[in-house]
A = this chain, B = another copy of it.
Amino acid sequence: MEPIALDAMGGDHMPDAALDGAVVAAAEGLPVVLVGDEARLRAGLEARGASLPIRHADDVIGMADAASDVRRRRSSSVMVAMRLVKDGEASAAVSLGHSGATMAAALFVLGRLPGVERPGILATVPVKDGFAALIDVGANADCRPAHLQQFAVMGSVFARTMLGIPAPRVGLMSIGEEPEKGNELTVRTHELLRETPGIEFYGNVEGRDLFRGTTEVVVTDGFTGNVVLKLAEGEARELFSWVRDALRSDLRSKLGGLLVRPALRSIAARLDPAEYGAQPLLGVDGYAFIGHGSADARAVASAIRTAHRAVEGRLLEHVREGIAGLGEVPQPA
């Protein structure tokens, strides 16, 4: 397998987090090529007593830059990483920098798969008995029903390929179970999903269904999905901080807190976004993964693992086939 191209410059803790994470991943036998300022990366590797291939990129898209900057800043690390994938020198690109820029770079360099109007970002959310695939979590703030239909197919393929669920059920995020409940977008999308081949459409789901794991795939527009994802992560973090505070409130709670700490820690770990590291941008013609700008070394290592698993599982080919299957049904304007 060609190595995973890691944008080692974009992100809050770069290049250190990238260097540390890549060294961990490489030690696990996962091939990585670092993309970024060669001198800095070389020095960073030497300081760690490690050796990894580097591809030089003399520019980096900062968190405050515009996503569209990628079009003229071709030597930015995220653009160089995408080009390595395009040219077959890397199997996947991973960036934990500017999400919009990563998406723009992927679209610009790799292009869309045939039949996909809008690639979507898929997030894996820990739920009751496993994981749910939520798509789109931010690539497309305004969507049409056909976009959500494509998300439904791509999400189903992801759940089969990456989560090992043979017949994942697809829920449409709405505000009532009945088909006619929701906004204009969901009411029209509900109709369309009912007649979509190759997916197990469950019907509408509500906010409370996400963590219950009512369906393995949840489809929504990128605005709602992004709000949902950030709320879910933020609420978990906040509630755990309330629990931590409560376990320091008096002697009895402190003593109990010492005893329950290992049990609570396993839950906190399950909810930690760093465990998952990066989210695939589905619908582009290549493997592209987008991570939190705040990613640490652990998140970088998980991102590389996730990308590696996707390539091994031939996720891209399965998405291509799934979307091709949509060509058989008439699509609304």
Known A-B contacts A224-B223, A238-B211; A246 and B232 likewise in contact (beta carbons under 8 Å): no
Q: How many copies does the complex hold?
A: 2
Beyond A263-B253, A267-B239, whether A175 also contacts B141 by CB under 8 A is yes
A243 interface residue (CB < 8 Å to B): yes
Q: What are 11 inter-chain pairs, A to B, with CB distance below 8 A?
A: A138-B175, A175-B226, A175-B227, A186-B223, A206-B234, A207-B231, A208-B237, A210-B235, A224-B227, A256-B256, A256-B257
Task: Report the bound CA distance from A238 to B237 in whole Å.
Answer: 14
Is A262 an interface residue when CB atoms closer than 8 A count as contact?
yes
Q: Which residues of B contact A175 (CB under 8 A)?
A: 138, 141, 222-223, 226-227, 230
Q: Is A122 an interface residue (CB 8 A)?
A: no
Interface residues of A, dominant DSSP: helix
- A253 contact set on B, CB distance < 8 A: 259-260, 262-263
Distance between A290 CB and nearest chain B CB, rounded to angstroms: 14
The reply on A209 being an interface residue by CB < 8 A is yes
Q: Which residues of B contact A220 (CB under 8 A)?
A: 227
A173 within 8 A of B: yes
Q: Is A228 an interface residue (CB 8 A)?
A: yes
Indicate whether A71 reaches chain B with its CB closer than 8 angstroms. Answer: no
Contact present for B234 and A235 (CB under 8 Å) = no
A interface size (C-beta, 8 A): 59
Whole-angstrom CA separation of A128 from B229 in the bound complex: 19
CB <8 Å contact, B260 and A256: yes
CA distance A173 to B221 in the complex (A): 15
User: Shortest distance in angstroms between A222's beta carbon and chain B's nearest beta carbon?
Assistant: 8
Q: How far is the CA of A229 from the CA of B175 in the complex (A)?
A: 10
Identify A182's interface contact among B128, B141, B228, B259, CB under 8 A: B141
For the complex, what is the distance from the CA of A264 to the CA of B223, rounded to whole Å? Answer: 33
Known: A226-B207, A257-B256. A263 touches B239 (CB 8 A): no
Q: A206-B230, A208-B233 are in contact. List 16 more A-B contacts (CB 8 A).
A: A128-B238, A174-B223, A175-B223, A182-B223, A183-B221, A207-B230, A211-B231, A223-B224, A228-B228, A231-B231, A236-B239, A243-B267, A252-B263, A255-B259, A256-B263, A259-B259
Q: In the bound complex, how far is the Cα of B212 from the Cα of A258, in angstroms?
A: 26
